[in-house]
């Protein structure tokens, strides 16, 4: 290495850290040594432990001391720092900039994301910075430049921040492909990943570095235990019959009181809709907080988000209500406390959000859970148990999604072109495509060359082809512009801009919500009550309105399924409760509900699968409690109903939540006699076939196909000078679906849509594992005299979907009063269904 020697550079790094009042930690020095030796790897450390400077200072020591003559020959950036969120880019850049004056005064640092203005991007291309903070999508755009091989040939290192956030989705696959391309151009490329909440570290490292380097990858653990305190804001009274959202509004005064003594706090929610609602509710509870409370989510305008982030850092804002848009990476040192509305549904998500407080080495993080229904007290106690035991969810990488590969092939064709056999070797050098078949590769080439057998007569699908030298390129400039505008794997429903009549931009909402509003109607957005004036040119023009808003926008993807790790911890807590162990304030508060559940039925436990059968005027109800999460229960409910209907034609209605499912049939069913056989697990391939036969698989797959078709470049969310509405986008996807179904039934994208429905929408692998687990449990079929507390939560889920002259609130009020009277009546003997083989007496 030219320039300063490694020891001298390390001494400079240590001096800089000590000047900030920090002492380098052992894992930071270990990381510096690994980087100095030219190694690549994955650094796993808790939030706020010092991962950023462990890797960044190591890279500066190794790469910032080049000779001046070599600096003058620089064509492009030396270091790329990939962050999953645009909101993190500015904050990350500020952290990386801090040591440059002392350690690399000649280095320039820049940010390049979707929010970077065009003039600034053009200026960067004229004189590339030494280091660049970017996103997966912006990195792919760099790869699509005609001069990409020249401007990126000098990249010496890539850092993928928050790798745990990217690993388990298609954006992570996009990063894997981009890194494979850079490795081809940049021999000796160093790649480092940063993660905070992962259980499968070896797989994560292999996905980051590729199978050829997995054996030599360095997986470093910080060895710094982060103390995370998890407590719960208990409601004044825990009802024995509760349901999702039941406690939400009643907890507002308690949340406001908990925040009264905080100088700076974050209030996390799981959805953007909840964020809007809680912001309005807290402001109504504390009008004097006006100007000191704000909200933050991904649909707000970037300028608004930046203003909020700066307000938190400067402690100008006292409370920020936010979504996952603030649970990654951003360094908010002033934050004293984190509250979480509802259950985080996963231990890793809880740890990530807790780490926004005490965001510094050696500091303690604290998160307070705010239950929105009684059973979330059980989730809170279970989450703390799992956290104390160190049980964190694994995140596997998707395997060989062809839509992402097709997009990447076009990107590479734009970025200098490719020779198919060489690109295939490069693609197989990734974890996601290591076993890609020759047949699938040939299909991808045919698809980008002429659209496959059903589209080959249409010139607009001839996107890529070989030139006279056998190098595959994009021959049409129109295709090039369209592709660059639509690079990425994030697919959402069509978004409409929200603007004031004076042109000021507030952000975006989904078209599906705003299209239901009439001019003059009010809705809440960006912390304001707005009145819709008109819809024009895919823009919702609004003005400020007075009064409480009757509507809050809803965005898709709001329901987070319960993780298997948290579900298992919940069952273990119930088993302890059955033995009289109600340790902890949450279980103490929940004791009356659990006592009534045990009195009328039983408690589910790791060894007991509980089913309840209850009859009323509507018919025969089955309640089943596998504790496998909403997604698994949806598939299980359809599959079980289909199996029962094979013996005799029957019609079912159903509902699911995270702990169980309910089936209602007008005809009586002897569940006690037949349930064990109906739940017997077939081989997974048989289960997949039966599952697809049991529900409207074509509709689910067609919805999935819309996203796949967009990623693969069949349809575009926008063309140069044009924006497309959701209706146009869906119509285009439906047309391709019909054409492929009729003329190309073996189209790989159709197959991928069905596979993703099984793997991601219905989680068939976890469903199969759940059936196998249920097979070794003792099945207990109870016949309670009334809907039990666990059953009541499922009944409410079914009632939500029904139309009635009586409101849901009225019906719930009437039912709760009736069940409370029954619960307070003298104890009756428990009734249960007829005994069955293996029943728990």
Q: What is the dihedral of CA 460, 461, 462, 463, to 10 degrees?
A: 100
- Residue 422: pLDDT over 60: yes
Give the pLDDT band (50/70/90) at residue 838.
Answer: very low
| Angle separating helix axes 585-600 and 564-578, nearest 10 degrees | 70
Q: Quote the distance between the C-alpha of residue 285 and its chain's center.
A: 31
**Least trusted range by pLDDT, from 282-296, 312-326, 496-510, 799-813:** 799-813
570 Cβ contact list (under 8 Å, min separation 6): 378, 379, 382, 627, 659
Is 149 in contact with 415 (CB distance < 8 Å)?
Answer: yes
pLDDT of residue 832: 47
pLDDT top residue among 248 and 427: 427
Q: What are phi and psi of 300, to 5 degrees?
A: -80, 155
Is 672 in contact with 613 (CB distance < 8 Å)?
Answer: yes
Percent of the chain with pLDDT over 90: 57
Residue the block writes with tokens 């349809």: 715
Give the pLDDT band (50/70/90) at residue 729.
Answer: low
Minimal CA–CA distance to 190: which of 27, 329, 50, 31? 31
pLDDT in tens, 438-466: 999 999 999 999 988 888 888 888 999 99
Mean local confidence (pLDDT), 132-158: 95
Mean local confidence (pLDDT), 99-110: 94
Give the pLDDT band (50/70/90) at residue 238.
Answer: confident
pTM score, two decimals? Answer: 0.86
pLDDT in tens, 748-793: 999 999 999 888 888 899 999 999 999 999 999 999 999 999 999 9
6-221 falls under which CATH superfamily? P-loop containing nucleotide triphosphate hydrolases (3.40.50.300)
**Least trusted range by pLDDT, from 126-140, 179-193, 331-345:** 331-345
Q: What is the mean pLDDT of the chain?
A: 87
Residue the block writes with tokens 């017997």: 680
pLDDT of residue 5: 52
Q: Do domains 6-221 and 228-388 have the same CATH topology?
A: yes
> Which is it for strands 218-221 and 41-44: parallel, antiparallel or unpaired?
parallel
pLDDT of residue 105: 93
- Between CA 809 and CA 248 the distance in angstroms is 14
CATH 3.10.129.10 fits 228-388, yes or no: no
pLDDT of residue 726: 55
Domain ranges of the chain: 6-221, 228-388, 495-544, 602-841
Sheet with 41-44: list strands edge to edge.
Answer: 109-112, 131-134, 79-82, 157-160, 190-195, 41-44, 218-221
pLDDT of residue 730: 66
Q: How far is CA 378 from each of CA 296, 628, 649, 790, rounded to the nearest angstrom?
A: 29, 15, 39, 12
């Amino acid at each position: 290495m030219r320039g300063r020697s490694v020891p001298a550079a390390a001494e400079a790094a240590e001096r800089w850290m000590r000047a900030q009042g920090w002492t380098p930690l052992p894992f930071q020095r270990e990381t510096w040594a690994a980087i100095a030796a030219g190694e690549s790897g994955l650094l796993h450390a808790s939030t706020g432990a010092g991962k950023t400077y462990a890797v960044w200072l190591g890279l500066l020591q190794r790469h910032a001391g080049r000779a001046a003559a070599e600096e003058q020959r620089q064509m492009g950036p030396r270091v790329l720092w990939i962050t999953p969120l645009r909101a993190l880019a500015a904050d990350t850049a500020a952290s990386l900039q801090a040591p440059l004056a002392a350690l690399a005064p000649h280095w320039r640092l820049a940010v390049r994301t979707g929010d970077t203005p065009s003039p600034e991007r053009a200026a960067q291309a004229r004189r590339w910075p030494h280091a660049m903070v970017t996103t997966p999508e912006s990195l792919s755009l760099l790869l699509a430049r005609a001069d990409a091989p020249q401007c990126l040939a000098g990249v010496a290192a890539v850092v993928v921040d928050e790798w745990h956030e990217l690993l388990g989705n298609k954006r992570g696959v996009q990063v894997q492909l981009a890194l494979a391309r850079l490795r081809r151009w940049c021999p000796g490329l160093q790649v480092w990943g940063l993660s905070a909440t992962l259980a499968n570290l070896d797989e994560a490292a292999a996905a980051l570095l590729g199978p050829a380097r997995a054996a030599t990858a360095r997986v470093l653990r910080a060895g710094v235990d982060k103390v995370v305190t998890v407590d719960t804001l208990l409601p004044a009274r825990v009802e024995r019959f509760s349901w999702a959202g039941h406690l939400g509004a009643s907890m507002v005064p308690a949340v406001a009181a908990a925040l009264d003594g905080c100088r700076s706090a974050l209030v996390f929610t799981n959805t953007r809709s909840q964020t809007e609602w809680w912001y309005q509710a807290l402001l109504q509870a504390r009008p004097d907080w006006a100007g000191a409370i704000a909200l933050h989510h991904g649909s707000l305008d970037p300028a608004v988000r930046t203003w909020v982030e700066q307000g938190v850092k400067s402690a100008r804002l006292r409370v920020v209500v936010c979504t996952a848009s603030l649970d990654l990476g951003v360094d908010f040192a002033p934050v004293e406390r984190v509250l979480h509305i509802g259950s985080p549904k996963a231990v890793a998500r809880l740890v990530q959000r807790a780490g926004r407080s005490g965001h510094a080495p050696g500091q303690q993080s604290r998160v307070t859970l705010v239950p929105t229904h009684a059973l979330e007290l059980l989730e809170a106690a279970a989450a703390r148990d799992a956290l104390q035991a160190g049980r964190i969810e694994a995140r596997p990488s998707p395997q060989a999604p062809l839509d992402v590969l097709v997009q990447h092939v076009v990107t590479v064709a734009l970025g200098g072109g490719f020779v198919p056999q060489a690109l295939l070797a490069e693609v197989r050098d990734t974890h996601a495509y290591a076993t890609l078949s020759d047949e699938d590769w040939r299909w991808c080439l045919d698809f980008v060359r002429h659209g496959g057998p059903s589209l080959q007569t249409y010139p607009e699908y001839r996107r890529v082809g070989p030139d006279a030298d056998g190098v595959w390129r994009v021959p049409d400039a129109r295709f090039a512009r369209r592709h660059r505008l639509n690079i990425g794997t994030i697919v959402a429903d069509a978004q409409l801009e929200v603007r004031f009549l004076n042109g000021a931009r507030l952000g975006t909402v989904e078209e599906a919500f705003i299209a239901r509003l009439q001019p003059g109607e009010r809705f809440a957005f960006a912390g304001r009550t707005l009145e819709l004036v008109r819809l024009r040119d895919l823009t919702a023009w609004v003005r400020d309105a007075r009064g409480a808003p009757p509507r809050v926008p809803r965005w898709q993807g709001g329901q987070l399924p319960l993780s298997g790790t948290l579900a298992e911890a919940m069952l273990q807590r119930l088993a302890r409760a059955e033995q009289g162990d109600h340790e902890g304030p949450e279980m103490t508060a929940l004791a009356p509900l659990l006592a009534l559940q045990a009195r009328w039925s039983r408690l589910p436990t790791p060894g007991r699968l509980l089913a309840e059968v209850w009859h009323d005027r509507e018919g025969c109800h089955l309640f089943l409690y596998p504790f496998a999460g909403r997604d698994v229960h949806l598939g299980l409910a359809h599959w079980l109903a289909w199996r029962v209907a094979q013996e005799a034609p029957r019609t079912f209605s159903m509902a699911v939540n995270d702990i169980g499912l309910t089936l209602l049939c007008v005809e009586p069913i002897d569940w006690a006699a037949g349930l064990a056989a109906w739940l017997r697990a077939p081989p997974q391939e048989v289960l997949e076939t039966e599952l697809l036969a049991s529900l409207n698989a074509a509709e689910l797959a067609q919805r999935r196909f819309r996203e796949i078709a967009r990623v693969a470049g069949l349809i575009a969310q926008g063309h140069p000078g044009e924006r497309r509405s959701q209706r146009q986008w869906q119509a285009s996807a439906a047309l391709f679906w019909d054409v492929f179904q009729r003329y190309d039934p073996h189209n790989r994208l159709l197959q991928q849509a069905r596979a993703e429905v099984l793997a991601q929408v219905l989680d068939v692998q976890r469903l199969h594992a759940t059936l196998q687990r249920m097979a070794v449990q003792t099945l207990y079929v109870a016949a309670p005299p009334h809907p039990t507390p666990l059953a009541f939560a499922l009944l409410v889920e079914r009632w939500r979907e029904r139309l009635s002259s009586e409101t849901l609130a009225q019906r719930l009020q009437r039912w709760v009063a009736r069940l409370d009277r029954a619960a307070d009546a003298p104890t009756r003997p428990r009734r249960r269904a007829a005994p069955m083989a293996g029943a728990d007496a």
